[in-house]
Each structure stands twice: as structure tokens, then as C-alpha cells.
Amino acid sequence: MIGSAARRPFEAGLRETGISIFWTAESGLPRFWSVTAARVYRLRPSRGSHCNRTLSQVGFIPQNFTLFLRPIRLHPMPLLALGLNHRTAPVDVRERVAFSPERLDTALRDLLDHGGAYEAAILSTCNRTELYCGLKEADNRCVVQWLGDYHMLPAVELQPYLYQHVEQRAVRHILRVAAGLDSLVLGEPQILGQVKAAYQAANNAGTLGTLLERLFQHTFAVAKQVRTDTRIGASPVSVAFAAVGLAKQIFADLPKRGALLIGAGDTIELVARHLHENGLGRLIVANRTLERAHALVAAFAGYAIALEEIPAHLGEADLIITATTSPGYLLKAAQVRDSLKRRRRPILLIDLSVPRDIEPAVAELNDVYLYAVDDLKEIIQENLRSRQAAAQQAEEIIDSQVEHFMAWLRAQDGAASIRALRQQAEAVRDEAVARALRQIAQGRDSIDVLHILANTLTNKLIHPPCVGLREAAAQGDADMLGLIKNLYRLDGGEVQ
């Protein structure tokens, strides 16, 4: 806390209303301060660190403190969501405007310095780059220009790929993004984690203010509600998800089962991960390159075999999933028939390969359930239809929650006026109290000083409405008279 004696020269250099001071001590958290009417108020602690210009011109810097100057906004600012995604821009454009995590902190600060924003957060993934900003003015051209300049691209080249949402549409956009309604795969859950990471990066950079802080917290709550109240993420929509989902339907006791996966590419790796997460009892991976199979099973406590060893291990598997690029069948009907003689229990085979890895005649064997990739596509399409129905429910939730946020945003107009009124009243109070204390120090009777203080405060605080009442009466302005009467409860109602 800056002492009153030290504060006066500090305040003398800062007479501009709406200035935020932010310094970092050698220990403890940074502190935000606001200078209004030449008085200093602490607003809130923050872990961020951002500066627009140093206070070398102030004339007073506390010992062991580094100070920075940053404007704050006393009134609600235009909210903007600007960006491009997999629907509006090809990958070669998206990769040119992506932000690497290690440069995000610098980019956020630069956006505040040169992009016309008071607050900012950046969401950058493989499918989208989006800027969420509280703007200084209702003009987003500075943000577009900044995005182009930062990535050394002419803004005119970016413009055809950009979408821009303001105010209510911006709120709706971020809620839909976080709920997975705007994703390449409808309802996918990873995007919420990416939105949370964007929030954390902006928080660490010190570029969040009241508007975006509230927006992101509201977004997280709505995304959770969508996940809880709808089945948007309940049905698998990838072949790996669908394959494991099918296995769970057939084998309720998956932890007691064994699986043989043939191949070691991305699809099999994803299948292995899903099976592991669902508690599969035993995992075997067969691959043409044994080293690759060893590398894959290392993370899932399984073991690897070569393709030539598959017949010897068929009897251990209740579930077999293949995904290779082999030109011929890797599993013949005769091999599966022999394994059934040894095991005498059903087996599920899922062939995700094109061309197929499993001979179609296997489906004619008893106790064998064979599914090809086209069979899973039907499951995926059905699940997509299920998600689309859930998406309609999610849109209804979002419609309601957009209005809730906009109601809060509209209320900030009143909140800014209330803050200004309170600060004005506190300034009058402090001035009157200071004068009263000086009079008491000079030996004046304390009772007299108390009466003078009360009269002074009364006169100064009612002066503005009294002037307004006289002017309204003189001009015959009945609406203004009524407004002032209602505001000050002059109709006989009690003032709370």
C-alpha cells in the first residue's frame, strides 16, 4: 500500500481519469490500481504481467517496485470474436495464421498495444484461429490489420477467410465453439480443453479484464451444462470410437477380455488407447514391423508379436481389430476355425481395412461376429444423427445462456455509473472530513465541527439533484421532474 505522504507526488503525475497502475513487488502478487479524481483505489490482485508504457515520467516510484501503466475501461466495450476455421479457410491459410504456444504471451500483449483492444484472448488450434477482444472503439479494422501484420500477411488476403461476430453474436459463437457445435467432428470434447488453455494463456499474460473473464467463466459453465443435459458426446463418430463402442456392447465384461490388434498405424493406436481407457484385460499388437508394435504397446501394458505369430495367439483373443494396408487377407477362415476349436467361446472381429484384412468367409463360422468398415459407417451415421438431435437441445441451452450473459453486459452500463457516483460521493466525503479534522486540530469545538461536517455533506450531496429539479421546473420538463423524483424517492417512498 502506498502511504498518503508518498502518494501525493505519485498522484501529481497522474491526473488522467481511467488509468490503471500495475506493479510487481520483489515478493507477492502484482496489484491493479485505478487513479480517478487524483485518488488511488486498489481493484484486484492479478498474476498477469503487462505494460503499455513505464511510469518514468511520474516522479515517484516506490522502492523495490517496477511500475507499469495500462488503460482500463470504465464502461462496457464492444465485444468481438474474429477468426477463421476449417469451414472458411484451407489448411495452407490456417497454418499461416496459427499462434505457437511459446509466442502466445507476446502476441497477446502486442494485440493490446497495437490491435485496438483493451482485453484479448487467442484460441489457436489445428482447425481454427480466433481472437476474442474487448475493443476500445466499435471498429474492428485494427484487429484485422494487426492479425495480418503479426503474421506478415496483407489484411486484404485474409479478409475473404475471416468471420467477425460482435456483441450477442460473439457470445453465441464462443458458447457454440466450447460446446463442440462448431467443430469438424460434431460434439467432440477436445475443444473445451483448448478453450480453457486459451483462457489460461490470456490470464497469465494479463490481457483479461472484467468482460472476457466473465465471458470465459460463463462459457465453461454452459459447456458443462450442454455435456450434462444432452447426449452430444455420448455416441462415437470415428471408426476407432465406433469399433470400441461395438466391443463394449457385445462384451459387458471388457476387463476380463483379451484383444488382438493387427497393424500399428494411427487408427490402431487410437483403438488401443480407447480399449485401455475402458479397462481391457489383455492387449496384443501384431505388426509387420515388430519394433513399431513394441513402441505402440509400451504405453498400454500389452505385448507385441510379428504377423507370422498371429495363428498361435488367435485363441487368446475375444476381440480382433485390424487396420492395415496389406493387399491380401491376413486372417483366413481356416485359421479362425482352428482357433475356435481351442477356445469354444464367441469371438468378435472388426475389419477397418480397405482392402479387407479378414476373409469374408469368416462370417459364416459359428460363434463369430464379423464387421467391416462399412458396417461401422452405418453405426457412425446413426450416432451422428443422434448427436444432431442432441445438438438441437444444445442450441436451445445456448440461446437461453446468451441472453443471460447479455443481461449481465447491459447491467454494466449501470454499474459504471454507480462506480462514478460512489467515487464522486467519496471524494466529497474525504474533502469534508479532512477539513473537519483540520478544524479540530486547530482547537475548534468538536460538536460545532460535527454540525458543520453534516451540513456540508448534506449541501454538497443534494446540490446536483436540486439544480436539476430547478432547471426542469423552469423549463417545464415534466419527464425530468418525474425522473428525479423517482430516483430520490420523493414520492413518499423510503430511501433504501
Tell me the catalytic residues. Answer: 126
* C-alpha cell recorded at residue 405: 450473459
CA distance 93 to 85: 10
What residues contact residue 108 under an 8 Å CB cut-off, 6+ apart?
Answer: 120, 121, 122, 201, 202, 205, 207
Q: Give the number of other CB atoms < 10 A from CB of residue 428.
A: 16
* C-alpha cell recorded at residue 264: 500399428
Helix axes 290-297, 266-277, angle to 10 degrees: 30
Phi, psi of 215 (to 5 degrees): -60, -45
Tell me the three state secondary structure of residue 248. Answer: helix
The Cα-based distances of 202 to 46, 141, 199, 212, 223 in angstroms read 12, 22, 5, 10, 19
What residues contact residue 480 under an 8 Å CB cut-off, 6+ apart?
Answer: 468, 471, 472
* C-alpha cell recorded at residue 377: 459407417
Phi, psi of 426 (to 5 degrees): -65, -35
**Buried b / exposed e across 234-250, counting CB within 10 Å, b at 16+?**
ebbbbbbbbbbbbbeee
CA distance 478 to 481: 5
CA distance 4 to 26: 22
Give the pairing of strands 163-166 and 258-262: unpaired
Question: For residue 262, which of 246, 245, 283 has the smallest C-alpha distance?
Answer: 283
CA distance 280 to 256: 7
CB 178 within 8 A of CB 192: yes
CB 378 within 8 A of CB 246: no
Question: For residue 134, which of 205, 194, 74 has the smallest C-alpha distance?
Answer: 74
* C-alpha cell recorded at residue 425: 460521493
The torsion region of residue 489 among left (phi > 0), alpha (psi -120 to 50) and beta comes to left
Q: Which DSSP symbol is given to 234?
A: T
